[in-house]
Structure 1
Amino acid sequence: MGWRGILGFEYGIVLAPLGPDISGPELVAAVANAGGLGILRAPDWEAPDYLRELIRKTRTLTDKPFGVGVVLAFPHEENVKAILNEKVAVLQVYWGECSKQLVQESHCAGVKVVPQVGSLEETRKALEAGVDAIIVQGREAGGHVIGQEGLISLLPRVVDLIGDRDIPVIAAGGIVDARGYVAALALGAQGVCLGTRFVATLESCAHPTYKRKLVELDKTEYTNIFGRARWPNAPQRALRTPFFNDWKDFPAHENELNQPVIGRSTVHGIEKEIRRLSGAVPNVTATGDIESMAMYAGEGVGVIDEILPAGEVVKRLVDGAQLLIQTQFSGL
């Protein structure tokens, strides 16, 4: 069963690499210490020295293995070199080609490669590249969503395509509790990848207002109003905050570049202006009009009713999944 572990980790629970720096060393270490796979988020620009420091800081907080996520749509070659030199357990990649060369170089460094996919075609390419596991993202997921299919229809097809290959499938998209975990297992996954649930944790680097909104609000929307200039053709799922409801019909020919600055933030050590509709989610350093910033969330957000320690999230997922299977399904 998935809770017995994937890729050498104790449990089949993965912390998504939450951008831009929400899944920092404290959150990653907390998930790792609880038996899951924590994944740092690399900067969306070349910053190998900074990334190396981030990895080493995480190692001061946990002696367990962890990973680093890289968005291939942005400059990343030097960052990947730093990741491989540091020999982290997992390189997680997204939104770009996971090439055979990248996989070979990673394997030579002893690093496993896990791409996130949103379609069968992406899955085929990942299999050809020789990856170690695959995260299947459904359209229910929060943040940037690469595919168009719901998890319940896409996941079984990916599982069937992989067949008897020894490549674990990890489900992502709208999963926040043990019920979602067991449902993913029933569809053939060996683990689950959670983003929104881990944003709403004590160790998350999200701004307190962002965390509070994840508890207060229960509706999301698939949209493309955020970050059109910085990351074109990258739709996202966001909370339906009052700000979002006012701006959801933002004209398609416009973008954030002609919008006013509404705040500032330090992202991966760099001071940045935040323009309205830029897509920058508020981290703990953000100042300004926080409630007018992007707040990404998956469709499962309505099940989140409290901010928890990350280790407690992992424990509830594991204990809850075991109990559900033993009490609800063992006699079937």
Structure 2
Amino acid sequence: MGWRGILGFEYGIVLAPLGPDISGPELVAAVANAGGLGLLRAPDWESPDYLRDLIRKTKTLTDKPFGIGVVLAFPHKENIKAILDEKVAVLQVYWGECTEELVLEAHQAGVKIVPQVGSVEEAKRAIDAGVDAIIVQGREAGGHVIGQDALISLVPRVVDLVGGQDIPVIAAGGIVDARGYVAALALGARGVCLGTRFVATEESYAHPTYKRKLVELEKTEYTDIFGRARWPNAPQRALETPFYVHWRTLPSHENETHQPVIGHSTIHDMEKEIRRFAGPVPNATATGDIESMAMYAGQGVGLIKEILPAGEVVKRLVTGAQRLIHQNFSAEIC
């Protein structure tokens, strides 16, 4: 096992399951081939046959293990059955209860299960359910954010809660480079989960305009203006694009339901209208007013200066972290 490996993977680098379909087979395979854990994103509706095809396509691009993320707030039972039938390495779940029954079902299929949590209380329930690892998401994270605590305070508390149990804690939120990786390790995490940094890669299925904005813009804001009708009470961290700045004070009774259609997109093989204030970020198929669509990003976005191959991102994280530890933290303490 290589440096800082987790769950049998060479490195402790995890590609977040970027929605709606930004972490597709090409990106997941690139991360897996580089020694990290790549996570596909399941559709937010039941589509088991499509999901099987997605998994099988990924298997043609890598002989390494990978995983898939499921949002439990949406219909998912048939999707999870397909995932377990296909025996992916890891089932990642979010925004819902990771029950003992679900953990047992995954383990009986030979699949490891990793929930993402945003609080100590959630972490305690996950530990009690017998999960294989825990992704701890801080409020700095991009996209939909389930908790309110900052990563620097939340990770050590979960690490202490895990104690001597073999349940790796994986830090998520605002991490984009080796410095963030080392900081997470110092907090007690054994790995890091990155979203925004991997959106801004060559293999990402994000629209080119979205990728460009991640390089150009540096500010984000915690908000709830996107997707209020489809996914209520699910706040997000988004880029401060000109569109967002103009609409950031959207009245609480407004949502996307009666807004004009600003574009179209094919998401997980389904044609979708994109209305103003809709939740999905623009993928590579999106057309229309791209700059008025949601663009999620974590607080570390200002550190992203270029679009890179995903494998290069993994390499720089690992070698950079090794170098930092060797140069700055390995001196003998007298």
TM-score when scaled to structure 2?
Answer: 0.99
- Percent of aligned pairs with the same residue? 82
Give the match for residue 26 of structure 2: 26
Q: Return closer, same or farther for 1:3/1:221 CA change in 2, 3 Å cut-off.
A: farther
Give the match for residue 229 of structure 1: 229
Gapped runs of 5+ residues in structure 2? none
8 Å Cα contact 1:2-1:189 kept in structure 2: no
Give the match for residue 82 of structure 1: 82
AA at the equivalent of 1:27: L
Give the match for residue 306 of structure 1: 306
- State the alpha-carbon separation in 2 of the partners of residues 3 and 253 from structure 1: 50
8 Å Cα contact 1:2-1:185 kept in structure 2: no
- State the alpha-carbon separation in 2 of the partners of residues 17 and 168 from structure 1: 18
Pairwise CA distance, 1:2: 9.0
Give the match for residue 99 of structure 1: 99
Give the match for residue 16 of structure 1: 16
Pairwise CA distance, 1:4: 2.6
Give the match for residue 173 of structure 1: 173
Give the match for residue 135 of structure 2: 135
Cα-Cα RMSD: 0.9
Pairwise CA distance, 1:258: 1.2
Aligned ranges 1:206-245 → 2 under 5 Å: 206-245=206-245
AA at the equivalent of 1:279: G
Aligned ranges 1:126-205 → 2 under 5 Å: 126-205=126-205
- State the alpha-carbon separation in 2 of the partners of residues 325 and 246 from structure 1: 43
8 Å Cα contact 2:2-2:10 kept in structure 1: no
8 Å Cα contact 2:4-2:191 kept in structure 1: no
Secondary structure of the structure 1 residue equivalent to 2:229? coil
AA at the equivalent of 2:267: V
Gapped runs of 5+ residues in structure 1? none
Q: How many residues align?
A: 332
AA at the equivalent of 2:239: L
Give the match for residue 46 of structure 1: 46
AA at the equivalent of 1:135: I
- State the alpha-carbon separation in 2 of the partners of residues 84 and 251 from structure 1: 42
Give the match for residue 328 of structure 1: 328
AA at the equivalent of 1:70: V
- State the alpha-carbon separation in 1 of the partners of residues 51 and 279 from structure 2: 22
- State the alpha-carbon separation in 2 of the partners of residues 68 and 328 from structure 1: 36
8 Å Cα contact 2:19-2:41 kept in structure 1: yes
- State the alpha-carbon separation in 1 of the partners of residues 100 and 168 from structure 2: 18
- State the alpha-carbon separation in 2 of the partners of residues 329 and 73 from structure 1: 42
Secondary structure of the structure 2 residue equivalent to 1:274? strand
AA at the equivalent of 2:9: F
8 Å Cα contact 1:207-1:286 kept in structure 2: yes
Is 1:297 aligned to 2:292, yes or no? Answer: no
Is 1:120 aligned to 2:125, yes or no? Answer: no
8 Å Cα contact 1:51-1:79 kept in structure 2: yes
- State the alpha-carbon separation in 2 of the partners of residues 292 and 240 from structure 1: 11
Secondary structure of the structure 2 residue equivalent to 1:255? coil
Moved more, 250-259 or 293-302: 250-259
- State the alpha-carbon separation in 1 of the partners of residues 195 and 85 from structure 2: 27
Pairwise CA distance, 1:183: 0.1
AA at the equivalent of 1:293: M
Is 1:280 aligned to 2:280, yes or no? Answer: yes
- State the alpha-carbon separation in 2 of the partners of residues 2 and 244 from structure 1: 42
- State the alpha-carbon separation in 2 of the partners of residues 23 and 67 from structure 1: 11
8 Å Cα contact 1:2-1:190 kept in structure 2: no
AA at the equivalent of 1:213: K
Secondary structure of the structure 1 residue equivalent to 2:189? coil
Pairwise CA distance, 1:254: 1.1
- State the alpha-carbon separation in 2 of the partners of residues 109 and 248 from structure 1: 45
